[in-house]
Amino acid sequence: MRIRKPLLLLFCTLTFMVLLPAVSACSFPTSKDITVYDETELIDAISKAANNKNRNIELGDDIVLSVEFFTIPDKKVITLTGNKSLIGRDESYTVWVGGTLNIDGITVTHMDGSIGSGVTINEGGVLNLVSGVIKGNNDQRTYGGGVHNRGTFNMYGGEISGNSAQYGGGVDNSFFGGMFNFYDGKICDNTAAKAYGGGVQSSCLFRMFGGEITDNIGDGVYIYDGIFELSGGKISYNTLGGVNVGGTINNPKNAFTMSGGEISNNTGSGVILSANPNCLNSFVMTGGIICGNKTESYGGGISCYPNRGVSITITNGEISNNSATYGGGIWIDVRQLSNLTISPGVVFLTLPQS
């Protein structure tokens, strides 16, 4: 293969120490206020809940919804418990959150063969996933197969798995103003039909303190006109790379900061900077590990698309054992070198034959 432009190929191995921010444990009242067995009882229990006061509702049986979507209204604070399923109607999403919903043990899903997403969080709404599963929600015409977030989504545990959408197979953190805080749990085995964000697509603020994003079809995380802060957890074994930082001219700056955590063993580059040429993609690494990623293209650890606005600063951490056809550690066009800063560490420079 003939390379028209000279390229700089880097491999960097660094040592690091990371202090994670303290995260308080999430807990909700465990005693049930009422047990419901069908859709009518569930809707009635929510309507009778006092505003701004938690009501703990246990599902005593699987509930198949006939309404277009099940609603948590503004000012209602509802905790759903029990080892049962809330099953959405075909051609709709299962739950619409305008107030606060705490999921602690239930499953949010659709019938096999049905079309529809799982949970939609409206502006001002809050979803706290403590335990339980959001799975089997499939709508490849839209965003966020498992969760579509326009409000606040806090994931303390549980699992989002086996969902699909056009973008953001597991979670879509929407440009309408969503904030996603990921503390623990697993986002796995989801599919993005357009490949962007098999696990998570985010266009606002996404902070990952722990948990796993793994085995998704598409990018593990796709940042589209947003900010991603990674301080813990693992992004691994995704089919099209770990973290892809993209964007458009509508938002000229996209930022990814990594102070801890691990991006490892993805098929594709660990970190990809791929925004529109008029954008500035900023990647700052002060800790964490990027290792074991493998691509047949450019940049096993970090890949920068040519002719794109990028700024890369690496002051600490480890980039090791990644592989690529060109640039196992880092691949960057020589025209972008002024935007690359690495210290300290060992850098290996290789210029391929033209």
145-197 pLDDT, tens digit per residue, is 999 999 999 999 999 999 999 999 999 998 778 899 999 999 999 999 998 99
pLDDT digits (tens, 9 = 90+) for 49-70: 999 999 999 999 999 999 888 8
The pLDDT score that the predictor gives to residue 7 is: 39
Name beta bridge partners: 66. none
Number of structural domains in the chain: 1
Is a pLDDT exceeding 50 seen at residue 18?
no
The pLDDT score that the predictor gives to residue 36 is: 97
* Percent of all residues in the chain with a pLDDT value above 70, rounded to a whole number: 84
The pLDDT score that the predictor gives to residue 199 is: 98
Residue range 265-279: average pLDDT?
85
What band does 225 get if pLDDT is binned at 50, 70 and 90?
confident
Is a pLDDT exceeding 70 seen at residue 8?
no
Residue range 120-134: average pLDDT?
97
Distance (Å, whole) CA 181 – CA 183 = 6
Q: Which long-range contacts (CB under 8 A, 24 or more apart) does 246-250 make?
A: 246/196, 246/222, 246/274, 246/275, 246/276, 246/281, 247/223, 247/275, 247/276, 247/279, 247/281, 248/224, 248/275, 248/276, 248/279, 249/276, 249/278, 249/279, 250/225
Distance (Å, whole) CA 233 – CA 250 = 30
How far, CA to CA in Å, does 227 sit from each of 158, 162, 281, 306? 24, 26, 10, 22
Query: Is the residue at 354 inside a domain?
Result: no
The pLDDT score that the predictor gives to residue 102 is: 98
Distance (Å, whole) CA 158 – CA 256 = 25
Least confidently predicted of 104-108, 130-134, 141-145:
141-145
Helical segments of the chain, H only: 39-47
The better pLDDT of the pair 104, 30 is held by 104
Query: Is the residue at 352 inside a domain?
Result: no
Residue range 300-319: average pLDDT?
85
Count of H helices and E strands in the chain?
A: 1, 39
Is a pLDDT exceeding 60 seen at residue 17?
no
What band does 311 get if pLDDT is binned at 50, 70 and 90?
confident
pTM over 0.85: yes
**Structure tokens that stand for 155 in this block:** 């994931």
By residue range, what is the domain housing residue 137? 7-347
Is a pLDDT exceeding 60 seen at residue 19?
no
The better pLDDT of the pair 157, 4 is held by 157
Residue range 15-29: average pLDDT?
45
The pLDDT score that the predictor gives to residue 176 is: 76
DSSP string across 235-285: EES-TT-SEEEE--TTS-EEEEEESS-EEES-BS-SEEE---TTSEEEEEE
Query: Is the residue at 2 inside a domain?
Result: no
Query: Is the residue at 353 inside a domain?
Result: no
Instruction: Tell me the backbone φ, ψ of residue 85, rounded to 5 degrees.
Output: -115, 145
- CB proximity list for 20: less than 8 A, separation 6 or greater: 209, 231, 232, 260
Residue range 229-243: average pLDDT?
98
What band does 249 get if pLDDT is binned at 50, 70 and 90?
low
Residue range 228-238: average pLDDT?
98
Query: Is the residue at 76 inside a domain?
Result: yes
Query: Is the residue at 159 inside a domain?
Result: yes
The pLDDT score that the predictor gives to residue 1 is: 34
Residue 169 C-alpha from the chain's centroid: 9
* Percent of all residues in the chain with a pLDDT value above 90, rounded to a whole number: 67
The pLDDT score that the predictor gives to residue 219 is: 95
Query: Is the residue at 137 inside a domain?
Result: yes
Instruction: Tell me the backbone φ, ψ of residue 293, rounded to 5 degrees.
Output: -85, 150
- CB proximity list for 170: less than 8 A, separation 6 or greater: 145, 146, 147, 160, 161, 163, 187, 188, 190, 197, 198, 199, 200, 213, 216
Query: Is the residue at 1 inside a domain?
Result: no
Name beta bridge partners: 257. 229, 284
The pLDDT score that the predictor gives to residue 274 is: 80
Distance (Å, whole) CA 235 – CA 146 = 18
Residue range 85-108: average pLDDT?
95
Residue range 213-230: average pLDDT?
95
